[in-house]
Chains A and B, each alone.
Chain A
Amino acid sequence: MTLDIQDLTAGYGRKAILRNISVPAIEPGSFVGVIGPNAAGKSTLFKTIAGLIRPLAGEVRLGDRSLAHLSRRDRARAIAYMPQAYGCNALLTVFESVLLALKQTSGWRVREDNLTQVSATLASLRLSHLADRGISDLSGGQAQMVAVAQTLVRAPRMVLLDEPTSALDLHHQLSILGSIRSQMKARGTIVMAALHDLNLAAKFCDRLVLINQGRILADGRPEEVLGLDAIGETYRVTTTLETTRRGSFFVDATLDHHP
């Protein structure tokens, strides 16, 4: 099922933060990176798609259904949203916290296949060794990976990841985004991830959406979007898109002027 975001205007109260956002035809299995500076409206966009904020105008359609017509439970089943990581002091193990995410949309009783699903998700993200640890004892990076596991375990049609790698070291940035990409491609699940690292975005995304001040400035393939002058203007830096000998490309950025 494709996802279409049509003329979305949304914000908190009557104040609009997103203005006329349209991201048409997001294909199943595609990995869409949402980039833009701090306070550009990335989190607001995710919360609106996840249904935590009611749009002031416009709509989000999954297949031929408008998300506004889905019940809270059905929407949670279709779309798994991972908010930016926050600490938590609950006395739960990692295994329990992932099971918990799964149980929100599937009956009260814990069934054998629920446990299998949790183990498989933890194994796929290489988190099995953490299963019996308390979630309040995890490091920031570990907690973030567990939050990813909580999102993926629900086997939704779409996952929304708000800065999924902000607390991870280089190795885990690559391994987590790599696992997410290959698993979701295999399942045909749409991934939308807010990313700050343009080079990570270039490496993993099929499509990039550049947002600033609640408006879409660019939408296209990574090499197209990252080569635009709009990137430099948005981040207030000078950028050049370089190609490596192996054929991949990266963004080289310098500050325009030193204060």
Chain B
Amino acid sequence: MSELTAGTLQSGYASRTLRRLTLLVCASCLLLLSFVVDCATGPGGYSLQTVAQVLADPFVHGARLKVIVWDYRIPVALTAVLVGAMLATAGAQMQTILNNPLAEPFTLGVSAAASFGAALAIVLGISIIPAVGGLLVTLNSFLFALGTCAIILLATRLKGVGSETMILFGIAIFFTFSALLSLMQYMASEDQLARIVFWMMGSLSRASWEKIGLGAALLCLAIPFGLMRTWSMTALRMGEATAESMGVDVARLRIEMLISISLLAATAVSFVGAVGFVGLVGPHIARLLVGEDQRFFLPLSALVGALVLSLTSIISKSITPGVIYPIGIITALIGVPVFISIILTTRREKLS
């Protein structure tokens, strides 16, 4: 009898694992599809088939189409995928180490700091490291985001700072940089103000192959780095005391993960501006689908985040032909109601 039960338990676990792997494959396929549709969406009215052929063989329909697809559309579509994956990975890891489902780069003030860094460069031309032209704004926002993460990192090393304190700390950072950003906007000329507002709303049009290379390299390091620590990270979800009793060096794990999170969040935000919500929704949907075994949760969060931003990119180009709406607006306006309906219609305890 107990033999039979043990066999049933194991086959139950095996079938759940298979289901989760299937979900990962499905999410990857959807992402690929969304990417191709994203490349095919835009002025010119080229069919999905034509664009797919150009994706496979750049010069099959002549040089003009090669330039449109490979130099304009793919960088934007790839940036959406990479940034979505980076934000969702950072969000998933932040939520785990801070034990708070609301933690993400936006809520912890990292995006606000990046926006302030960008505004500082736009209005005063002040940069921490000398740089030229368009890079100045990107670099400055990156450094401010990274600096904020470093402050959060230092705060975790202080004695008696728990995960609730960390969130309060993040909110304090958020308000501080929001106030400083308002100050910048107040000081800015009309032209500068427009640039700040445009930067804050988030846009994929700042895509370039260099940024894509950098983002892809970072993700290729961060995801294996996270996957190597999945058992400790899952243990942390059982509570700090339990994780420590299982032999996890919680303090060290927090610091290692925060370094990875900092780089991901700062890079993503400096690439596209302050896009909220993706870092929250990616992990949330992943959690509902596969639970919190981090071996599945982490990659699925990244895939869902990438898919969400890729779909956002499609929508931003499809509402009014010829107009590309800032993605930050789309994620909030369309994403939030979808997100809420998902939360309300999915039962929490559904795990199998």
Instruction: Return the chain A residue nearest B11 by Cβ.
Output: A115
- Chain A nearest CB from B93 CB (Å) reads 15
- Pick the contact of A100 from B7, B17, B235, B244 — CB < 8 Å? B235
Task: Fill in one digit per residue for B229-266: 1 if any A CB lies within 8 Å of its CB, else 0.
Answer: 01110110111011011111100000000000000000
**Which residues from A are CB-within-8-Å of B237?**
88, 90, 92
**Which residues from A are CB-within-8-Å of B234?**
90, 92, 100
Stretch at the interface among B75-83, B121-129, B287-295: B287-295
Known A-B contacts A73-B247, A100-B231; the reply to A120 vs B6 at CB < 8 A is yes
B9 close to A (CB within 8 Å): yes
CA A88 – CA B351 in complex, angstroms? Answer: 16
Instruction: Return the chain B residue nearest A76 by Cβ.
Output: B247
**Which residues from B are CB-within-8-Å of A50?**
245
**Which residues from A are CB-within-8-Å of B13?**
95-96, 99, 115
**Which residues from B are CB-within-8-Å of A150?**
242, 246
Provide a sorted-by-A list of 10 A–B residue pairs whose CB atoms are within 8 angstroms: A86-B241, A91-B348, A96-B293, A101-B235, A104-B246, A116-B6, A120-B6, A122-B9, A128-B2, A134-B351
**Which residues from B are CB-within-8-Å of A131?**
9, 12
Interfacial residues of chain A within 161-208, with CB under 8 A of chain B in the complex: none
- Could you list 17 further interchain pairs (A-B, Cβ under 8 angstroms) beyond the known A93-B16, A99-B13, A119-B7? A76-B246, A77-B247, A90-B237, A90-B292, A91-B292, A92-B237, A104-B231, A104-B235, A104-B246, A115-B9, A116-B10, A118-B9, A123-B5, A131-B9, A136-B349, A150-B242, A150-B246
- Chain B nearest CB from A197 CB (Å) reads 23
A30 close to B (CB within 8 Å): no
**Which residues from B are CB-within-8-Å of A100?**
231, 234-235, 238, 246, 293
A105 close to B (CB within 8 Å): yes
In the complex, how many residue pairs between chain A and chain B have their CB atoms under 8 Å apart?
Answer: 105
A103 close to B (CB within 8 Å): yes
A119 touches B351 (CB 8 A): no
Known A-B contacts A100-B238, A119-B6, A123-B5; the reply to A92 vs B244 at CB < 8 A is no
Known A-B contacts A83-B245, A134-B351; the reply to A95 vs B292 at CB < 8 A is no
- Pick the contact of B247 from A104, A108, A119 — CB < 8 Å? A104
A148 close to B (CB within 8 Å): no
A132 close to B (CB within 8 Å): yes
A137 touches B352 (CB 8 A): no
B291 touches A92 (CB 8 A): yes
Interfacial residues of chain A within 78-95, with CB under 8 A of chain B in the complex: 80-83, 86, 88, 90-93, 95
**Which residues from A are CB-within-8-Å of B349?**
134, 136-137
- Chain B nearest CB from A47 CB (Å) reads 9
Known A-B contacts A92-B291, A100-B238; the reply to A81 vs B245 at CB < 8 A is yes
Task: Fill in one digit per residue for B274-306: 1 if any A CB lies within 8 Å of its CB, else 0.
Answer: 000000000000010001110000000000000
CA A95 – CA B15 in complex, angstroms? Answer: 13
- Chain A nearest CB from B160 CB (Å) reads 11
B293 touches A83 (CB 8 A): no
B228 close to A (CB within 8 Å): yes
CA A83 – CA B241 in complex, angstroms? Answer: 7
**Which residues from A are CB-within-8-Å of B7?**
119
- Chain A nearest CB from B6 CB (Å) reads 4
A103 touches B231 (CB 8 A): yes
**Which residues from B are CB-within-8-Å of A72?**
247, 249
Interfacial residues of chain B within 300-352, with CB under 8 A of chain A in the complex: 348-349, 351-352
- Chain B nearest CB from A203 CB (Å) reads 26
**Which residues from B are CB-within-8-Å of A135?**
238
Instruction: Return the chain B residue nearest A119 by Cβ.
Output: B6
**Which residues from A are CB-within-8-Å of B292?**
90-92
CA A134 – CA B237 in complex, angstroms? Answer: 13
B351 touches A91 (CB 8 A): yes
Instruction: Return the chain B residue nearest A112 by Cβ.
Output: B10
CA A82 – CA B243 in complex, angstroms? Answer: 10
A97 touches B231 (CB 8 A): no
CA A82 – CA B232 in complex, angstroms? Answer: 17
CA A101 – CA B351 in complex, angstroms? Answer: 19
A52 close to B (CB within 8 Å): yes
A19 close to B (CB within 8 Å): no
A92 touches B228 (CB 8 A): no
